[in-house]
Amino acid sequence: MRAISTFLGATILGMAGLASAASAQDRPDQQAYLGLYKQLVETNTTLSSGSCTTAAAQIGARLKAAGYADQDITYFAVPDHPKDGGLVAVLKGSDAKAKPILLLAHLDVVEAKRADWVRDPFTLIDEGGYYYGRGTVDDKAMAAVWADSMIRFKAEGYHPKRTIKLALTCGEETTFAFNGAEWLSKNKRELIDAEFALNEGGGGRYGPDGKPQLIALQVGEKAAQNYTFETTNPGGHSSQPVPDNAIYQLADALKAVQGYEFPIKFTETTRAFFSMVALGSPAPLRTGITALLANPQDAAADKVVSSDKMMHSTLRTTCVATMVSAGHAENALPQRATANVNCRIFPGETVEGTLAKLQELAGPKVKVTANPPIRPTAIPPALDPKVVGPVKAVAAKHFPGLPLLPLMSTGATDGVFLEAVGIPVYGVPGFFLDNDGNGMHGLNERMRKDSLYQGRDYLFDLVKTFAG
């Protein structure tokens, strides 16, 4: 999951009629949700020592207790990754012609070292208006809401017009882990078939005064891909250096990557995003955005807009060196030098095309390879009124006066795997975060309590609106 960039509050602030909704947080249904959320947060689902399979079984048991039959719940895992399992649950709709909707969330969380945290990361702690714990935001808040919604639908005898599917998966947070969303897309496409999926990636932002500033709908994302730069050399004694040096060759290649800007491109979503951001921006930025929308090759405008790192990344593919390893002895010329270059590839651009450009930049003495796993090409979903309309209409009831901003994620979610097989994925709003991202992927992750319950109510109503 990726938080909304810090610049958005400043650029959109003038457009928002700031609103703040209170939540009692003591309704019986909220207490039931808190029990599910607490159990999920307190179940360790890290790759190193946790189990998504256990978490999926716990949620499955709750679904069964709510009245779901065995045939409504499918557990999945593979023999070589028994702890990385997940589940798919189905609430059948009344209209066989209406395509289902899919609720997607991941159960796994980023590693959390107890010695570094102020509080136990796997104990849900209620303190100062927040719930603390690993996964309280990313992504167990949404996973718990989706599971809780399915339980509430069954409890109140709700019969949707279109089928609602729930997919809870593992492996989103770790590149080399077994990825449940990818596995379902490739092996059980019919199980998750849907007109579209609702996922993480959207959200809302609090301002410095603690009031909501805006909400965002994620429509598309970049594809994350790592590349290895490698150069080798016979080496020799360091007392007799020669120009042909593996470290220097690698350094030259990395400097070439640093100095290269991939061309600016727009999707339907990013064009709408920049158009809306321009409206609330100060004159220099507004002028620069307007110029780029008219002419993506305007270098002067690019310089102005790209001074913000999030805007820079939203405009293009980006590649950056993240790890370097070289040499074998202090007194020897290096025989090998390698680096990892992490790229975030703009929708529609390919892993192979990016590789070709990187190899061109690196030159003939440095070999560039794409590292497995190879991500699919990112396919941007449409700004479909059938999706955007309900998101906006339900938000107007729950978060009145706030603008809805469509955005493309510069990070990555599991949506890329579903979009590759024809299921559009939308990161829906609901949860509001502070400027610092609430500790996601870092220390002392936390979720504001009122945001949790308000987001739960919004998402529950949104699913009902879509399902009919």
* pLDDT tens by residue, 35-72: 999 999 999 999 999 999 999 999 999 999 999 999 99
Q: Quick check: 25 pLDDT over 90?
A: no
Look at residues 205, 212, 253 and name the one whose alpha carbon lies nearest to residue 231: 253
Confidence of residue 22 (pLDDT cuts 50, 70, 90): very low
Q: Quick check: 16 pLDDT over 70?
A: no
Q: Quick check: 275 pLDDT over 50?
A: yes
Cβ count within 10 A of residue 126: 11
Q: What average pLDDT does this structure show over 402-409?
A: 95
Strand partners, 75: 87
Give the tens place of pLDDT for each residue, 245-266: 999 999 999 999 999 999 999 9
Specify the residue for token string 């158009």.
275
> What does the pLDDT read at residue 208?
87
- As a whole number of angstroms, the distance between CA 57 and CA 61 comes to 6
Q: What average pLDDT does this structure show over 236-244?
A: 96
Taking the domains of the chain in order of start, what are their residue ranges? Answer: 7-221+378-467, 224-370
Q: Quick check: 9 pLDDT over 80?
A: no
- As a whole number of angstroms, the distance between CA 137 and CA 211 comes to 18
What tokens were used for 237? 């004694």
The structure's pTM equals 0.93
The DSSP string of 286-303 is HHHHHHHHH-TT-HHHHH
Confidence of residue 8 (pLDDT cuts 50, 70, 90): low
Q: Quick check: 206 pLDDT over 70?
A: yes
Q: Decide if 131 contacts 436 (C-beta within 8 A).
A: no
Q: At what angle do helices 52-66 and 28-41 cross, to 10 degrees?
A: 160
- As a whole number of angstroms, the distance between CA 19 and CA 397 comes to 11
> What does the pLDDT read at residue 137?
97
What tokens were used for 2? 């990726």
Q: Quick check: 23 pLDDT over 80?
A: no
Is 7-221+378-467 a CATH 2.60.120.10 domain?
no
> What does the pLDDT read at residue 19?
41
> What does the pLDDT read at residue 207?
86
Q: Is 207 left (phi over 0), alpha (psi -120 to 50) or beta?
A: beta
Top-level class of domain 224-370: alpha beta
Choice among 14-23, 24-33, 430-439 with the minimum mean pLDDT: 14-23
Q: Quick check: 113 pLDDT over 80?
A: yes
What tokens were used for 102? 């899919």
Please give the mean pLDDT across all residues of the chain.
94
Cβ count within 10 A of residue 49: 10
Specify the residue for token string 């202090």.
330
The DSSP string of 367-422 is EEEEPSSPPPPP-PPP--HHHHHHHHHHHHHHSTTPPEEEEEESS--THHHHHTTT
Q: Quick check: 20 pLDDT over 80?
A: no
- As a whole number of angstroms, the distance between CA 384 and CA 380 comes to 11
Strands (E), 46-148: 73-78, 81-91, 101-106, 125-127, 130-132
Exposure string for 198-211, b = 16+ CB within 10 A, e = fewer: bbbbbbbbbbeeee
Choice among 118-122, 354-358, 437-441 with the minimum mean pLDDT: 437-441
What tokens were used for 212? 């909501």
Confidence of residue 6 (pLDDT cuts 50, 70, 90): very low
Q: Quick check: 377 pLDDT over 50?
A: yes
Give the tens place of pLDDT for each residue, 66-111: 999 999 999 999 999 999 999 999 999 999 999 999 999 999 999 9
> What does the pLDDT read at residue 18?
39
Confidence of residue 176 (pLDDT cuts 50, 70, 90): confident
198: helix, coil or strand?
strand
CA distances 145 to 66, 93, 364, Å, are 15, 20, 52
Q: Quick check: 411 pLDDT over 90?
A: no
Confidence of residue 13 (pLDDT cuts 50, 70, 90): very low
CA distances 55 to 135, 230, 329, 397, 438, Å, are 13, 41, 47, 33, 23
Q: What average pLDDT does this structure show over 291-308?
A: 98
Q: Decide if 172 contacts 413 (C-beta within 8 A).
A: yes
